[in-house]
Amino acid sequence: MNIIINPDFSEFENICKRPSFDQKHLSSGVQTIFDEINRRGDQALIEYTEKYDNVKIKSTVLNLNDEQVEISSALKEAIQVAYQNIKTFHEAQKPLEINVSVMHGINCSQKPIPIQNVGVYIPGGTAPLFSTVLMLCIPAKLAGCKRILLCTPPDKSGNIHPAILYAAQLCGVKEIRLAGGAQAVAAMALGTAEIQKVDKIFGPGNQYVTAAKQLAQNYGVSIDMPAGPSELLVYADSTAISSFVAADLLSQAEHGSDSQVVLIATTEKMVKDIFNEIESQLEVLPRKNIAKEALKNSKFVVITDASKAFDLINHYAPEHLIIASDSPEQYVDLILNAGSVFLGNYCPESAGDYASGTNHTLPTNGWAKNYSGVNMDAFYKKVTFQSITKQGIENLGQTIITMAEGEALQAHANAVKVRLNQK
């Protein structure tokens, strides 16, 4: 274990480095997938499914029926509790229409209008993320999105995990396609015979999915945010509980071998106690080999001064930030950059992943400096309106004319003059 003790500001950049990938190779490979989907449509998509998911399918279309989904009653109940909490929190976020009279005769308004066609990508692979169905489809439904397309990779039998199907049905999703990875994103961005093009793509994924989402923007499709391999930073002061912190770090490490966990603690003893707990807890985890790989990307840092510690935290801009403390509120005003924050010793990051109500689709890789996590605003575009009466144009007209002529745009000025000169 390498412990970094009271690093200088000049070391922050190196500490904040994420696991690196061959971006040139990554971009080239994803562009090839887009080109093939664009050229051969569903046939290319089916071939990529066989290549990457090791399953042959005849069609991407999942025929939905009213059959009872076979999952345990306990899991159904858990999903329903999470559904209600997520719905309650997101319903409170609905944007309001704004209507303002800025001066006599001139009225300006702003109306939130739902994005009509949204695509939701749900990762499958080693961990079928049915929780992400709730996180993305609940706010899409609440916003009033007309069409919600859900893409997720098939399992070895050519189906999807029953819990993903149950969550989708609970959210009222009617359109599901068997497609995963960068190829699913390409299909949603370009459109095929079986997958109609969407206006915006939502959902987390690995580095290939993230690269595909960024490339999708070149094809007239927007995205929620760059959301790649998951990450967690824990700030542990002297009141942190080492076993809790270790469990939190491992919960994130088991996501994937490309995940990253970072610990910043106030004492070297705290770091060593947490590391000993990690080693103890790791051995009983079914996904311990994945977690071990992720831990190779981990950083353990000791910073005695809280202000300096949060300078590093804000520079890192973590996807998830846990404040492991009996008094977490004292640090809240120091937080500038984070996707989602978990306050106190009894607030695990897994609560936000599943059922507390906040959204778990969050910016990674430092994007929390300029992106928010998914929220209700992400499913709307906001259109502005203005109405001007005859008296209003008389009140404002000369201001417009003066500014237009100042920019040498005479036609702009004339559009006002003809109204002012009307007999």
pTM of the model: 0.94
Domain end call among 204, 224, 244: 224
The verdict on residue 7 lying in a domain is: no
Enter the tokens of residue 283: 């051995």
Q: Is 104 a catalytic residue?
A: no
Angle of helix 410-420 relative to helix 390-406, nearest 10 degrees, comes to 160
The verdict on residue 334 lying in a domain is: yes
The verdict on residue 413 lying in a domain is: yes
278 and 302 co-located in one domain: yes
326 and 409 co-located in one domain: no
CA pair distance 23, 129, nearest whole angstrom: 26
Is 375 strand, coil or helix? coil
DSSP state for residue 240 in the 8-state scheme = -
Q: Is 319 a catalytic residue?
A: yes
Enter the tokens of residue 147: 């069409």
Domain count, the chain: 3
One pLDDT digit (tens) per residue for the chain, 423 residues: 679 999 999 999 999 998 776 677 888 999 999 999 999 999 999 999 999 999 999 999 998 875 668 899 999 999 999 999 999 999 999 999 999 999 999 999 999 999 999 999 999 866 789 999 999 999 999 999 999 999 999 998 898 999 999 999 999 999 999 999 999 999 999 999 999 999 999 999 888 999 999 999 999 999 999 877 889 999 999 999 999 999 999 999 998 888 999 999 999 999 999 999 999 999 999 999 999 999 998 999 999 999 999 999 999 999 999 999 999 999 999 999 999 999 999 999 999 999 999 999 999 999 999 999 999 999 999 999 999 999 999 999 999 999 999 999 999 999 999 999 996
Q: How many residues would you count in the chain?
A: 423
Q: Is 57 exposed, middle or buried (0-12, 13-18, 19+ CB in 10 A)?
A: middle
Q: Which residue out of 161, 319, 349, 360 is catalytically annotated?
A: 319
The verdict on residue 99 lying in a domain is: no
Domain that holds residue 415: 390-420
64 and 161 co-located in one domain: yes
CA pair distance 244, 222, nearest whole angstrom: 38
The verdict on residue 106 lying in a domain is: no
249 and 141 co-located in one domain: no
The verdict on residue 266 lying in a domain is: yes
Q: Which residue out of 254, 320, 349, 360 is catalytically annotated?
A: 320
The verdict on residue 410 lying in a domain is: yes
The verdict on residue 354 lying in a domain is: yes
CA pair distance 331, 349, nearest whole angstrom: 17
Residue 31: CB atoms within 10 A of its CB come to: 16
Contact by Cβ (8 Å): 393, 256 = no
